[in-house]
Structure 1
Amino acid sequence: MTPSSTVLHPTLAYHLANTLGWSRLRPLQTASLGPVEDGSDALLVAPTAGGKTEAVVFPLLSAMEKEEWNGLSVIYVCPLKALLNNLLPRLRSYAGWLGRRVEIWHGDVPGSRRQAILRDPPDILLTTPESLESMLISRSVDHRRLLGDLHAVVVDEAHAFAKDDRGWHLLSVLERLTHLAGRPLQRIGLSATVGNPEDVLTWLQGSNAGIRPARVITPDETIEAASADVELDYVGSLPNAARVIAWFQSEKRLVFCDSRRMVEELGELLRGHGVTTFLSHASLSADERRRAEEAFAEAQDCVIVSTSTLELGIDVGDLDRVIQMNAPWSVASFLQRLGRTGRRTGTRRTCLVLALTHDDLLTCAGLLLLWGTGFVEPAQPPPSPRHIIAQQLLALTMQEGRVDDTGWPDWWNGYPLFERREAQPILDHLVGDGFLEKDGPWLHIGPKAEERFGRRHFMELVAVFTAPPEFTVLHGSKEIGRTDPTLLTSSVAGPRLLLLAGRTWQVDWIDWRRRRCFVDPLEGTGGEARWASTGSFGLSFALTRAMRDVVLGATPPVRLTHRAIDVLAKVRAENASTVHSVGTVVTRVDDDLIWWTWAGYRANATLKATLGSLVDPVHRVNDFNIRLRNDLTWPDWHRARRDLRSRDPLPPDIDDRALNGLKFSAALPRALAVDTLSMRLADYAGAREALTEPSHLTTAT
């Protein structure tokens, strides 16, 4: 080992050289040794397979020995149970060199194993945020005994947490762990490339920010566009895509799709071509996914088709090629997926992007253009997580049995989210609406919380998102996965057929009360796959503007097939009247007046609210344009835009139905729930930029 490894515990250094056969540490691992072992908060940033796990675990194990930590000292948090399962054997091996223990705790771990952990806590515990919350609200867990020896928390895939409400939930739980431990906890995040690593680290620190030393640690090695082999092709349909994917014989291929339905349909098509195919998505049973991932890791000349479930660092072995169906939502996501290849020495990261429609080709080209510039989206936590404040107040009360009406902010250690002026109106609403009850100076869980969030140990309180109801699909006693209930209620001629796990099943009978559907396998095809959409805020301002640049002639720095070149020329011609090299375009076509902003969904939703009566009131927000009143004159349009430039854009309007997707919104005053969603939908910067650009009028025939 190199001299830089000498700060490691001697036993670790010995095993790295003799058990693993390492001659040196990777740059990230070398750079992280001192800061992590010295107790600094840190964000370790590297591409997939960049050695982040070892970069944090080795110095923590050294600190554990040097400082003689005992009991449960380190909690390692992942967003997915599959990631935890994948990490467990490796971390057990590393810790075992020092006589230390690693255990795992999540929803699939048997109760007997959990009881053994409570009796004799390990040194390192692998878990999810929801399982941490479950421990805290469980009356069978002695929180102070289990968690009183904590020193450090590792947050794997920190960028994924930072982008949604699970991150706010995790930070809130970490503050409660800090309170129980009675000491500031070292916080270390592991992240793929993000556009704002310093901001992500400050966010992750929570109440540590500005108090404890903190460092972003990133290696010198980077993935540049020039170092990857990326090709863009236009295939026009899913059957054509299957033929292209099947053509890469003798290769191990990982195919990413943007929906569970596409995963199922493509999987069935590939098997029809005789390709050994495995599937992975969130509505397949855990056993089904695990079998597929293990079989794929051991096989060659095969394909695994997946949603984003395999985007994170689950090890599926060496890959020859990643194939991306259409474009992912972000450059950051594309980098994650691209990083699944090129792990073998002397190989390049290789990705084939297949576009199904003209619109898809334009989106793919725009995303690859952004990627080629080195752009990576900042990881931005959703603003105003007031519903998480409500959830945490309820969960803390459940955890402690009763909470002091004046002392509850202490549990979050001065973290601004739970300062009294921010959280008190939410607490007052919880008391006034019966979610909490007040008895003298004490707060207790109220009847409305039990009625609204469930009686079974209040387990609804541990999950931040509201999931649409699904039916469990079983063949005998074996769970295959879950499906949308509309597939079981829609009118069909003949037998009802489902497509799940890449094959067709015939429905035998349905247990409506228990939401179970029993099926039998059927040879052949014809099954249907369907799941409710989780919804999204559409394309970003940056991506939509990159697509506009492509229409104007920019070409991404990747190889384009002849088909892609030909269709891209047609796409440019189709959209030529909607773009201008300087500013935006307003087109008058027949009786429609359309403002082509190319600003993305959130900016256009903000613009629609800001323009008010200038917009056709029934216009549905989209990524590219806004339909104006058709009696609007050109001088009136210019005057209105000039006036609006001097004002702040208005927040988007919120449909009451949208509140249903904001879990715990029922525990908020309605005005706060609406304001929370409105702030999350808004893109004020994009709206301002579109308003300030020159506007050009064209008349189409």
Structure 2
Amino acid sequence: MASDRAERPDAVDRLHPVLLHHIVNTLGWPDLRPLQKAAIDPLMDGEDTVLLAPTAGGKTEAASFPLLAAMENSDWQGTSVLYLAPLKALLNNLEPRLETYAGWLGRTAGLWHGDTRESARKRMRVESPDILLTTPESLEAQLISKKTDHKHILGGVRAVVVDEVHAFASDDRGWHLLAVLERLERLVGRRIQRIGLSATVGNPEDLLHWLQGAQPHERTGRVVAPGVHLKAPEGNTPPPGDIELDYVGSLDNAARLISLLHGGEKRLVFCDSRASVEELGEKLRLRGVTTHLSHSSLSLDERRRSEEAFAEARDCVIVSTSTLELGIDVGDLDRVIQIGAPDTVAAFLQRLGRTGRRTGTIRNALFLATEEAALLKAAALLLLWGRHWIEPVVPPPQPRHLVAQQILAAALQQHTLGDRTWHEEWNGLAPFDRSATPIMKYLVGGGFLDTDEGLLFIGPQAEKHFGRRHFMALTAAFTAPPQFTVYFGRKDLGTIDPRLLLEQREGPRLLLLGGRSWQVGHVDFNRRRAFVEPAEGGGRARWDSYGLSGLSFPLTRAMRDVLLGANPPVRLTRRAQARLAELRENRAAHVDAHGTLLLREGDKLEWWTWAGFRANATLIASLGALADPVQQPDDARIRLSAATTPQSWQAARADLADRLVLPEVNPRAVQGLKFSAALPEHLAARTVAARLADFDGARFVLDEAVRWETRQ
């Protein structure tokens, strides 16, 4: 690319000459990557596009270079490009890079999210940057803010880049994002180009159509994924990577092994709970390992200090939840270590992609299973990975609570909505269209909206439930359980579950936060603050979560395959091989290669479906009296009434696939549904129930052969 313009591909030739100069001379790149070349034409032609590449695949440049060229060619003024990401830390990490690229053309980039100082926001309100990096929640906050001239800051938007778009699409934040983008298009009065950046997913075309929002058939779009294999290759060739699975039996043993192995290397250790991050972090520090921590309940300053120290060091470990799974740069990693296993292959691919970035290195991961269930889950996950299988991205169904939120947010933005035209704010995007009329009627009847002469405006109940801090509670699509902030002097350490402060205990109350133990002194219950002093050890970590638990149908089925003898195409240590052999011997009575198993032992009758949490929850609700009424759904089995006979079972099963019902909902789960206060109770419960259901998995199981077996 550096030598002769005549030799450049036509697409590369479309980039602005100043950009090409800096790519070669400032970045020192001899050429663009295939993805970056392939993205130029669709992005500069205004097409909606999804760019697929593994982590560190150059997606940010693939999006920003063509958009900067289009900005110059068409003389876009003001904020013309929005760059949206799911994490503030990711935006913080990207801002210097985008600011540099924009600066080559005399353009600017600015950062606006919940941690941005008011002085910086004030400057951007007067002189808006050409590229604005923000979150959907902060974009919503701008739309409803009385301080912000929406038209001045956002009226010139031409394109939106959505980083880690798959993370949005599989979550309620995706519905929120789509709805806000439709309102933004109405504000600017034109179609906004939509560009999604994603790791490899199982259904990229569906992801593109989802991103296009209302009337996707009226918009041009394409998936750009050079070099990405969207289908499994012929034969049994495993994906590339150096993967090892070990069984260590406890978190203590995991800490010991990490402290002994890979000395001098920079290691990123993933745990799938904040409490495990804290416990492992403390155990590693006690073994003399330089250890940093990152999870969502640590304060912003604590996380930044950890991530910066880790990025600059060599012989050290950072222990993290999924907060470091996405594209935040933590420097040149040598190794990823996974405690247990994530719930999805997609998450594993994100984590694996943090390694192998240096020339001459390959992607690698070490799985350390601390218990048998985690070993089985890890083996199953790696079995799916070896089959080149990746979960499709599927938006959560029936987001009625977000429909209510959007109606209230639109009323705040516009000050009034027409009682017959309110649905036009989302350009026909379902379910924010006329089908939401029952929710609208409830908002009016319940006092969340007032009405006068055909106009709707914010009512007293909306003020009561969501009005604090200028309706900031309306901008987040998820619910976080109430937590206490922990202070050492004036230093904010992070937040903890309040039950750690309320449960009865003898002796001093000790907390574990930031990988260190603290003794609780004074607690200010009114302001939700706890003040602590350092302690020698013995602290406890705990956080509650409203999230739905349980494994998917494909992962649970892969667990059955492992018990039936399938091995993932990775290195298994002798410990892992031995424990898997024990597992297979001990669980042989619970699996059948030809279908499901009905097992009676004494007065206990269990149906081993291996169908996953949601399919089993659906079957329990649909079986009615045949299912034991006192049970929590399990991934692998269902308890049936001991009175069930083969005859009554066959009669019930005959047409069950045609009369499946939604699972029962725990009222506490409804509390975790953000904005449920703005929904009728029965609609809130049905929304949660729809997210607990797996009708396809349940039907699959009902079509399988069933073997009855009785043991004494």
Q: Which residue of 1 aligns with 2:4?
A: none
Shift of 1:208: 5.1
Q: Which residue of 2 aligns with 1:443?
A: 456
Post-superposition CA distance 1:674-699 (Å, at most 9, x none): 22112111101100011110101122
Q: Which residue of 2 aligns with 1:637?
A: 649
Shift of 1:318: 1.0
Preserved contact between residue 52 and residue 228 of structure 2 (Cα < 8 Å):
no
Shift of 1:648: 3.9
Q: Which residue of 2 aligns with 1:24?
A: 31
Counterpart AA for 1:329? D
Post-superposition CA distance 1:629-676 (Å, at most 9, x none): 10111222123222324x142211222222111111121122222221
Say if 1:226 and 1:132 are closer, same or farther in 2 by CA, change over 3 A. closer
Task: State the distance in 2 between where 1:264 and 1:534 align.
Answer: 20
Residues 1:87 and 2:105 aligned together: no
Counterpart AA for 1:327? A
Task: State the distance in 2 between where 1:429 and 1:534 align.
Answer: 25
SS in 1 for 2:351: helix
Instruction: Point out the more displaced range, 52-61 or 446-455.
Output: 446-455
Q: Which residue of 1 aligns with 2:226?
A: 219
Task: State the distance in 1 between where 2:501 and 2:529 align.
Answer: 11
Residues 1:96 and 2:103 aligned together: yes
Which residues in structure 2 correspond to 1:138-149 (within 5 Å)? 138-149=145-156
SS in 2 for 1:505: strand
SS in 2 for 1:69: coil
Task: State the distance in 2 between where 1:91 and 1:438 align.
Answer: 45
Which residues in structure 2 correspond to 1:53-72 (within 5 Å)? 53-72=60-79
Counterpart AA for 1:191? S
Preserved contact between residue 577 and residue 698 of structure 1 (Cα < 8 Å):
no
Task: State the distance in 1 between where 2:627 and 2:297 align.
Answer: 40
Task: State the distance in 2 between where 1:111 and 1:51 align.
Answer: 32
Q: Which residue of 2 aligns with 1:315?
A: 329
Q: Which residue of 2 aligns with 1:431?
A: 444
Shift of 1:612: 1.1
Q: Which residue of 2 aligns with 1:612?
A: 624
Q: Which residue of 2 aligns with 1:581?
A: 593
Counterpart AA for 2:20? A
Q: Which residue of 2 aligns with 1:515?
A: 528
Task: State the distance in 2 between where 1:390 and 1:423 align.
Answer: 9
SS in 1 for 2:554: helix
Residues 1:494 and 2:507 aligned together: yes
Shift of 1:610: 1.4
Q: Which residue of 2 aligns with 1:369?
A: 383
Shift of 1:172: 0.6
Q: Which residue of 1 aligns with 2:344?
A: 330
Counterpart AA for 2:418? D
Counterpart AA for 1:76? Y
SS in 1 for 2:492: strand
Preserved contact between residue 537 and residue 602 of structure 1 (Cα < 8 Å):
no
Task: State the distance in 2 between where 1:42 and 1:159 align.
Answer: 13
Post-superposition CA distance 1:116-174 (Å, at most 9, x none): 00000110000011101111111011111211111000100000000110010011111
Preserved contact between residue 259 and residue 307 of structure 1 (Cα < 8 Å):
yes
Task: State the distance in 2 between where 1:273 and 1:452 align.
Answer: 48
Preserved contact between residue 103 and residue 122 of structure 1 (Cα < 8 Å):
yes
Which residues in structure 2 correspond to 1:618-697 (within 5 Å)? 618-645=630-657, 647-697=658-708
Task: State the distance in 2 between where 1:282 and 1:549 align.
Answer: 35
Shift of 1:65: 0.5
Preserved contact between residue 402 and residue 444 of structure 1 (Cα < 8 Å):
yes
Task: State the distance in 2 between where 1:700 and 1:239 align.
Answer: 38
Which residues in structure 2 correspond to 1:96-245 (within 5 Å)? 96-207=103-214, 209-221=216-228, 225-245=238-258
Residues 1:342 and 2:356 aligned together: yes
SS in 2 for 1:526: coil
Instruction: Point out the more displaced range, 81-90 or 674-683.
Output: 674-683
Preserved contact between residue 239 and residue 385 of structure 2 (Cα < 8 Å):
no
Q: Which residue of 2 aligns with 1:249?
A: 263
Instruction: Point out the more displaced range, 375-384 or 492-501.
Output: 492-501
Post-superposition CA distance 1:377-421 (Å, at most 9, x none): 01100011111110001011111222222222222122222221x
Counterpart AA for 1:362? L
Q: Which residue of 2 aligns with 1:466?
A: 479
Preserved contact between residue 184 and residue 208 of structure 1 (Cα < 8 Å):
no
Q: Which residue of 1 aligns with 2:294?
A: 280
Task: State the distance in 2 between where 1:531 and 1:414 align.
Answer: 40
Task: State the distance in 1 between where 2:282 and 2:711 align.
Answer: 44
Counterpart AA for 1:434? G
Which residues in structure 2 correspond to 1:404-415 (within 5 Å)? 404-415=418-429
Task: State the distance in 1 between where 2:460 and 2:568 align.
Answer: 58
Task: State the distance in 1 between where 2:244 and 2:310 align.
Answer: 24
Counterpart AA for 1:695? V
SS in 1 for 2:469: coil
Q: Which residue of 2 aligns with 1:399?
A: 413
Residues 1:482 and 2:506 aligned together: no
Shift of 1:457: 0.4
Q: Which residue of 1 aligns with 2:85?
A: 78
Say if 1:212 and 1:226 are closer, same or farther in 2 by CA, change over 3 A. closer
Task: State the distance in 2 between where 1:9 and 1:614 align.
Answer: 69
SS in 2 for 1:227: coil
Say if 1:226 and 1:429 are closer, same or farther in 2 by CA, change over 3 A. closer
Give structure 2 stretches of 5+ with no counterpart. 2-6, 231-236
Counterpart AA for 1:431? V
SS in 2 for 1:207: coil
Task: State the distance in 1 between where 2:680 and 2:170 align.
Answer: 25
Task: State the distance in 1 between where 2:616 and 2:543 align.
Answer: 27
Tell me how many residue pairs correspond in the alignment.
698
Task: State the distance in 2 between where 1:534 and 1:288 align.
Answer: 25
Task: State the distance in 1 between where 2:488 and 2:94 align.
Answer: 31
SS in 2 for 1:167: helix
SS in 2 for 1:61: helix
Post-superposition CA distance 1:262-314 (Å, at most 9, x none): 00000000011111000000000001000100000000010000000000000
Task: State the distance in 1 between where 2:224 and 2:166 align.
Answer: 14
Shift of 1:534: 3.2
Task: State the distance in 2 between where 1:530 and 1:538 align.
Answer: 19
Superposition RMSD on alpha carbons, in Å? 1.2
Shift of 1:85: 0.3
Residues 1:296 and 2:303 aligned together: no
Preserved contact between residue 44 and residue 70 of structure 2 (Cα < 8 Å):
yes
Task: State the distance in 1 between where 2:225 and 2:659 align.
Answer: 38
Task: State the distance in 2 between where 1:669 and 1:75 align.
Answer: 35
SS in 2 for 1:417: coil
Give structure 1 stretches of 5+ with no counterpart. none
Q: State, as a whole percentage, how many aligned pairs show the same letter.
A: 60
SS in 1 for 2:470: coil
Shift of 1:222: 5.3
Preserved contact between residue 270 and residue 277 of structure 1 (Cα < 8 Å):
yes
Task: State the distance in 1 between where 2:664 and 2:502 align.
Answer: 33
Post-superposition CA distance 1:561-591 (Å, at most 9, x none): 0000000001111110111110100111121
Instruction: Point out the more displaced range, 223-232 or 536-545.
Output: 223-232
Task: State the distance in 1 between where 2:45 and 2:552 align.
Answer: 40
Task: State the distance in 2 between where 1:254 and 1:656 align.
Answer: 38
Residue 600 of structure 1, aligned match among 573, 595, 612: 612
